[in-house]
Amino acid sequence: MTWSDNELIDSFRKAANQREQVKILAELNGVSIRDMAQYLTQLGCALPELPPGWMKGPTQTVNKSGFDPERARALFAEGLSDQQAAELLGISVSRFASWRRSAGLKRITGHPSHRKKPAAPPPAPEPVISDISNYSEAGQAEPLRACELGRMLVALAEAFPEMTVTVNGEAVYTIRTEIRTGMNGDGCIPRLDLGVGTC
């Protein structure tokens, strides 16, 4: 027998037409119907009454085409359709399909190129551009204040916590901050210097 005892018992018991299943199992295992019927009986299966013509010994031996269940399983595992596998095995499509169903393998239909293709990934979102510009009431550009930069970075971090930071298209790997103080006519003015490492 090509199939294990458990496979034979399971396939026979689950079959909708157990009489036909005896014939199918004989064909798939390369033995006569009579031998399969006797073996299933030895395994404890209660067989239905079989037609007398099926029990005539070697003249009823099936599997003349040399069906190889192991090769059939391998072809099925490769994703071939019933038709493709049957052609390679030299058997009819209905015979392969019957074997596949009795072996409990789910149907694969059509050539892989005809199967449903996975959905395309959604388009990338448009870039969100935030621009901080600091102008005086007179419309003059003024230096950016740390609080304005901070608000923007906090908002971005909340909206996109895993976002990569780039400067002019280059990934940022380090940021160095240095606070300096300088004197002008109004007193001590702190200044934040940012050093960005992009390599």
Are residue 91 and residue 36 in the same domain, yes or no? Answer: no
In a domain, 154, yes or no: yes
pLDDT for position 187: 63
CA distance 140 to 137: 7
Are residue 2 and residue 45 in the same domain, yes or no? Answer: yes
Q: How confident is the model at residue 129 (pLDDT cuts 50, 70, 90)?
A: low
pLDDT for position 184: 62
Are residue 161 and residue 186 in the same domain, yes or no? Answer: yes
Across all residues in the chain, what is the average pLDDT? 75
In a domain, 133, yes or no: no
In a domain, 156, yes or no: yes
Query: Can you tell me the mean pLDDT for 63-76?
Result: 71
b/e sequence 141-176, b meaning 16+ C-beta within 10 Å: eeeeeeeeeeeeeeeeeeeeeeeeeeeeeeeeeeee
Q: How confident is the model at residue 177 (pLDDT cuts 50, 70, 90)?
A: confident
Last residue of a domain, one of 45, 64, 83: 64
In a domain, 138, yes or no: no
Q: How confident is the model at residue 73 (pLDDT cuts 50, 70, 90)?
A: confident
Q: How confident is the model at residue 63 (pLDDT cuts 50, 70, 90)?
A: very low
pLDDT at 57 over 60: no
In a domain, 83, yes or no: yes
In a domain, 161, yes or no: yes
pTM, rounded to two decimals: 0.32
In a domain, 130, yes or no: no
Are residue 166 and residue 189 in the same domain, yes or no? Answer: yes
pLDDT for position 7: 85
In a domain, 47, yes or no: yes
- Residue 170 sits in which domain range? 146-197
Are residue 21 and residue 32 in the same domain, yes or no? Answer: yes
- Structurally, the chain folds into a number of domains equal to 3
